[in-house]
Amino acid sequence: GNSVTQMEGPVTLSEEAFLTINCTYTATGYPSLFWYVQYPGEGLQLLLKATKADDKGSNKGFEATYRKETTSFHLEKGSVQVSDSAVYFCALSADRYSGGGADGLTFGKGTHLIIQP
Amino acid sequence: EAGVVQSPRYKIIEKKQPVAFWCNPISGHNTLYWYLQNLGQGPELLIRYENEEAVDDSQLPKDRFSAERLKGVDSTLKIQPAELGDSAVYLCASSAARGLVGEQFFGPGTRLTVL
């Protein structure tokens, strides 16, 4: 079956540091990949996505590149801010060519990011 | 545009009691999902609806869980009877995508505590 593995947290960084959160996946077919973010007290929000190999998703200074050869979708940001403190979830959706509509997402366990001023 | 609405936000019940959660998706979204999120874990899909049809309920524990989406809009998820291990956050999401993957929009969740 499908699965997502992401680095364990919490990850604690100083403001303006470089961020990488690793994510690898196992899937049959050709999945779409996502990063969702959950800020304290709020619901899950889509941060970025990529639907085919070598696609780069980006939003709010965050980037992630779909690497089919390494089955990875690592999240990066060049300079983090205190406001980036949140829980980040890597997720995948099954084969985009399944034709079955928007399948449910398979999530990783989440990585709690703490940015200190 | 209103987001996904869920109620109640919090629920505390005794074990063996029934409980129900309600979800109103974003207007026009045909696909609706219920997820379960345990503490420190990512959400896990329970059931997916396309309009009023449950197209994927393979992860729904059918001995005590049930769901419905009458008229293809609002949805209700029920647990009867609740067990201690059901304490978790129940998330509802909706999507407008058909055929290709689109963004899922999540509600704030219902936090269930079973005593």
Tens of pLDDT, residue by residue over A12-41, are 999 999 999 999 999 887 888 999 999 988
Mean pLDDT for A59-84 is 97
Interface residue of B104, B105, B110 to substitute, partner A, most A CBs within 10 Å = B104
Cβ separation A102–B98 shorter than 8 A: yes
Cβ separation A101–B45 shorter than 8 A: no
pLDDT over 70 (residue B1): no
Strand B19-24, strand B105-106: pairing: unpaired
Q: What are the strands, taking DSSP E only, across chain B?
A: 5-7, 10-13, 19-24, 31-37, 44-50, 53-56, 65-68, 75-79, 88-95, 105-106, 110-114
**What is the reported pLDDT for A102?**
57
Cβ separation B104–A106 shorter than 8 A: no
pLDDT over 60 (residue A96): no
**What is the reported pLDDT for B16?**
96
Q: Which residues of B touch A105 (CB under 8 A)?
A: 43, 45, 104
pLDDT over 50 (residue A99): no
Mean pLDDT for A42-71 is 94
Cβ separation A101–B56 shorter than 8 A: no
**What is the reported pLDDT for B2?**
81
**What is the reported pLDDT for B89?**
96
d(CA B91, CA B77) in angstroms, rounded, equals: 10
Q: A84: Cβ–Cβ under 8 A, 6 or more apart, which residues? A: A19, A77, A113, A115
Q: pLDDT by residue (tens digit) across B57-106? A: 888 999 999 999 988 899 999 999 999 999 999 999 998 865 555 688 99
**What is the reported pLDDT for B72?**
84
**What is the reported pLDDT for B100?**
54
The answer, for A107 touching chain B at a CB cutoff of 8 Å, is: yes
Tokens encoding A19: 């961020």
Residues in A 21-80 with any Cβ partner in B closer than 8 A? 32, 36, 42-46, 49, 51
d(CA A107, CA B41) in angstroms, rounded, equals: 9
Cβ separation B55–A102 shorter than 8 A: no
**What is the reported pLDDT for B58?**
85
Q: Is B78 in a helix, a strand, or coil?
A: strand
pLDDT > 70: percent of chain B: 94
Cα Rg of chain A, angstroms: 14
The answer, for B110 touching chain A at a CB cutoff of 8 Å, is: no
